[in-house]
Amino acid sequence: MALGKPLVWFVGAAPGVYVPIYPVWLVGEEPAGHQFVLALDEEMRAQWESATVFHPADLALRRQYAEATVRRRLHQPVFRERVLLAYSLQCALCRLRHPELLDAAHIKEDSEGGEPVVPNGVAMCAIHHRSFDKDVLTVRPDYLIEVRRDVREERDGPTLQHALQGLHGEKLVLPKPRAAWPDPELLEERYERFRMVG
């Protein structure tokens, strides 16, 4: 911290699995809480280093900014890693096993108060994640995949037929530990939204 050197922060995603977040800087110390203040980017670093005295209101604003930045920049790679590991590095809909093509889809979005925890996520390939986000398909609370009616009735090429229409009525591939299964209440909320759209 005294030298202002950048660090790498290894955040635990699972036993023996870490997600590196870098560069980060230690910009302050809170001895009473036995903790340090961490800046995740140059802007945060500059904000903390520019003030020599913190007023309570200023400190509250800085903390609010830091929490928003941490939530946005830190949780996503850790959330993704945890979800993909829970689903054995495969799409829960089509079983594609190319991690570079997989995402952790949020059932309840961050912007709606969704938490970055495995039961609020499903491992999906890019096409299924995008389809899920745009309500082209959904996962019902009983873990069955439902494709929107207009998409099921559409005539197109093999991608539509196999990647989307063929999934209708299929069961989601669930993680082995039941604690990692998608939360049925969150799926119910999402399903209600899907039904209103289509």
For residues 68 and 93, membership in a common domain is answered with no
- From first to last of its 198 residues, the chain has per-residue pLDDT tens of 889 899 999 988 888 998 898 898 998 888 888 888 888 888 778 877 775 555 555 556 666 655 555 555 567 889 999 999 999 999 999 999 999 999 999 999 988 999 999 999 999 999 999 999 999 999 999 999 999 999 999 999 999 999 999 999 999 999 999 999 999 999 999 999 999 987
**What integer pLDDT is reported at residue 94 of this predicted model?**
97
Q: How far is CA 13 from each of CA 39, 69, 78, 90, 117, rounded to the nearest angstrom? A: 20, 19, 6, 17, 11
For residues 33 and 99, membership in a common domain is answered with no
Residue 95 included in any domain: yes
Residue 78 included in any domain: no
For residues 66 and 96, membership in a common domain is answered with no
Residue 83 included in any domain: no
Residue 101 included in any domain: yes
What tokens appear for 97 in the block? 């096993």
**What integer pLDDT is reported at residue 51 of this predicted model?**
59
CA distance 120 to 105: 8
Give start and end residues of each alpha helix (H) in 20-74: 42-50, 56-73
Residue 12 included in any domain: yes
Full residue range of the structural domain in which residue 131 is found = 89-197
113 Rama sector, left if φ>0, alpha if ψ -120 to 50, beta otherwise: left
Let me know how long the chain is: 198
Contact in structure between 17 and 34 (CB atoms under 8 Å): no
- Domain closes at, from 18, 39, 73: 73
Residue 2 included in any domain: no
Residue 79 included in any domain: no
Query: pTM value?
Result: 0.74
| Full 3-state SS string of the chain | CCCCCCEEEEEEEECCEEEEEEEEEEEEEEHHHCEEEEECCHHHHHHHHHCCCCCHHHHHHHHHHHHHHHHHHCHHHHHHHHHHHHCCCCCCCCCCCCHHHEEEEECCCHHHCCCCCHHHEEEEEHHHHHHHHCCCEEECCCCEEEECHHHHHCCCCHHHHHHHHHHCCCECCCCCCHHHCCCHHHHHHHHHHHHHHC
Residue 136 included in any domain: yes
DSSP-derived secondary structure letter, 183: P
For residues 189 and 141, membership in a common domain is answered with yes
For residues 94 and 166, membership in a common domain is answered with yes
Q: In what order do the strands lie in the sheet with 7-14?
A: 7-14, 17-30, 35-39
